[in-house]
Amino acid sequence: MKSFAKFFPVIVAVLAGVWLMSKAAPPSDAPTEMQVNEFGQLPLVYQGRVKPFDTLARNSLVIISDRQTWKDSNGKRQPAITWLLNVIAQTPEARTAKVFRVENPQVLEVMGLEPRSGFRYAIDEFTPKIAELDKQANRARALEPGQRDAFDAHILEFADQVHLYTLLVEAFRIPVLQGQQDVQRVMAHLQRLERFPLPLVIPPDEGQDKWKPFMRGAVESMVMPEGGEVAQTFSDILGAWINKDTGAFNAALGKYQAMMRLKLPPDQMSKLGFETFFNHFEPFYHCAVLYVFAFLLGCFAWLGFTKPLNRAAFWLIAVTLVVHTFALGARIYISGYPPVTNLYSSAIFIGWGCVILGLIIEWKFPIGVGNLVAAVTGFLTLLIAHFLAGDGDTMEMMQAVLDTKFWLATHVTTVTLGYTATYFAGFLALIYILRGVFTRSLDKPTEKMFGRMIYGVICFGLLLSFVGTVLGGLWADDSWGRFWGWDPKENGALIIVLWNALVLHARWGGMIKIRGMAVLAIAGNIVTSWSWFGVNQLGIGLHSYGFISSVAFWLTMFVLSQVVMMIVGMLPRQWWASSGNFEPRDPRSTPDALPAT
């Protein structure tokens, strides 16, 4: 039994590593099959950056279906790239694939659809109702955001999904030209189409710098065949896909790949392949799964077999952290920007920082608390990131005011680390209160450990928040000519600094003890969440870059949960399950008590 306990953490870590390596194996197609995975690595420009077709396929399908896979007519799951090929080649399967997710009963009624399991529908099922969809969407857009109800929000979301699908179809439509009038008609249609953000697949020729949409390249190849070989070869790929001609598809694909190697730098081509691998690996999803297992190990450690289970949880989290770190580095390599550029990247970065803090705490205080907080915060932040990814590309082009790598690497990273530390202190406080109120495992020595942990992390959070806020002022002075403008986001950062300072001063002044510090640390979760998400919902100020309609509800629920935990933490000590560990003992009850004098 002792030998098993000794090697159990090693076994857990090795199994996790083997599982991760199996998931990292890149997909491949047999030589006798269409090389759809190779097609997924082809380049295009969309939303301001060069990316592989695989990324466009996954992001588009996530927006439309909330998934990165789809089911064919046989009920078999297929990768997103095959769905995209069907759409851009305009195969019959594209119109019968049940990929549009529609859950709102009123939207279903408007579109003439019946509720079904999974709530996914094919475009052919509601094509006759698209005119009514446009009518309802235009009505909803005319309303102020605060006047829209749930139906308006869902009808706009569904209209955006149909619009995206239509853009993909039109952007890759092969025009039919039989005369000069057809050329003029197609060019007029193309000019209207180019008002929208289209995927651009035709790379610039030598001496040019602009990519073109496929339709423009196709028209030019028909008018001037000598200059349209790229568009013609891409047309051959789509034609072979429609005809299910494996040989023709692979031959045209190989020819197109050779053209791209001549037109794009080698490092950009390799980056496209790496991004496709990254998409397939889905490291953040697998990290989230392992954080759940680590949390379960940490919980079981409270029931028995404590030391081996805690050690196993520690090393499982350490293995997961390696992959989490790799994924962060991969995003930096792909995007060319520092780790935090938007709400999605801030979530995965906060989780990464919390996991590191958790491992440090567990190394210093090996009682399982660091493991639990690391696992919980790691999972929750990746869950938040998952829902934030529903809008599409998480590595989109930066807005001009933010496109400054130096300040992104200094101010934004430092402020986000301040969020990390403040959240971590708050979650330590949650564990402290839950353990004290609902279990008998909290005693005075353990409480003192919690006090040291919470206090130290708050100090760390104050330092980072203060430095990050000052750096933000310097960036503002550099960009806008003023150090401070009382912008909501600036105020949120300042509130975090002031709140952490308040907690520390209250502790130093003896106004609160460990329990009071824990309650105030939980309030720090509310303050940080307001700065992180709340100010974006105001839609005002120079920092309102990340409005998300569903955030208000979930932010309110989180705040209420933290208020409840603060109230629980303030319950009289005698109501706590662990109160017996804190009751003062009568010295006369001990055998070696000195006589009273």
Q: What digits encode the pLDDT tens for the residues 532-576?
A: 887 766 555 555 555 566 778 888 999 999 999 999 999 999 999
User: 323 and 376: one domain?
Assistant: yes
> Do residues 84 and 168 lie in contact, with contact meaning Cβ atoms separated by under 8 Å?
yes
Top pLDDT among 594 and 512 is at: 512
Task: List all residues 6 or more positions away from 327 whose beta carbon is below 8 Å from its beta carbon.
Answer: 278, 283, 284, 287, 348
Q: Would you give the DSSP letter of residue 228?
A: -
User: 391 and 490: one domain?
Assistant: no
474: phi > 0 → left, psi -120 to 50 → alpha, else beta; which? alpha
Q: Would you give the DSSP letter of residue 483?
A: S
- What confidence score (pLDDT) does residue 21 get? 95
List the one residue out of 494, 496, 485, 497 whose CA is nearest residue 542: 485
Angstrom distance (rounded) from CA 80 to CA 466: 44
Residue 22 inside a domain? The answer is: no
What one-letter code names the amino acid at 129? K
Count of structural domains, the chain: 4
Domain at 457, CATH number = 1.20.120
Q: Percent of the chain scored above 70 by pLDDT?
A: 92
Tokens at 236, concatenated: 């051959």
Residue 9 inside a domain? The answer is: no
Angstrom distance (rounded) from CA 166 to CA 155: 16
Q: Please, what is the angle between helix 2-24 and helix 283-301, to 10°?
A: 160
User: 321 and 186: one domain?
Assistant: no
Residue 522 inside a domain? The answer is: yes
- What confidence score (pLDDT) does residue 591 get? 42
User: 245 and 367: one domain?
Assistant: no
- Name the pLDDT band for 581 (thresholds 50, 70, 90): confident
181: phi > 0 → left, psi -120 to 50 → alpha, else beta; which? alpha
Task: List all residues 6 or more positions away from 160 whose beta carbon is below 8 Å from its beta carbon.
Answer: 63
> Do residues 531 and 429 lie in contact, with contact meaning Cβ atoms separated by under 8 Å?
no
Q: What digits encode the pLDDT tens for the residues 249-278?
A: 999 999 999 999 999 999 999 999 999 999
> Do residues 229 and 259 lie in contact, with contact meaning Cβ atoms separated by under 8 Å?
yes
Top pLDDT among 236 and 594 is at: 236
Q: What digits encode the pLDDT tens for the residues 582-591?
A: 876 554 544 4
User: 309 and 432: one domain?
Assistant: no
> Do residues 517 and 496 lie in contact, with contact meaning Cβ atoms separated by under 8 Å?
no
Residue 11 inside a domain? The answer is: no
Helices and strands, counts by H and E, the chain: 24, 8
User: 328 and 179: one domain?
Assistant: no
- What size, in residues, is the chain? 597
Q: What digits encode the pLDDT tens for the residues 303-360?
A: 888 899 999 999 999 999 999 999 999 999 999 999 998 889 999 999 999 999 999 9
Q: Percent of the chain scored above 90 by pLDDT?
A: 68
Angstrom distance (rounded) from CA 293 to CA 314: 11
Question: Nearest-5° angle of CA 130, CA 131, CA 134?
Answer: 85
> Do residues 550 and 533 lie in contact, with contact meaning Cβ atoms separated by under 8 Å?
no
Residue 588 inside a domain? The answer is: no
User: 199 and 222: one domain?
Assistant: yes
Angstrom distance (rounded) from CA 171 to CA 586: 83
Angstrom distance (rounded) from CA 555 to CA 242: 47
Task: List all residues 6 or more positions away from 512 whose beta carbon is below 8 Å from its beta carbon.
Answer: 503, 506, 519, 520
Task: List all residues 6 or more positions away from 488 whose beta carbon is below 8 Å from its beta carbon.
Answer: 535, 538, 540, 541, 543, 544
The SS3 call for residue 77 is: strand
User: Whole domain around residue 322: which residue ranges?
Assistant: 282-397
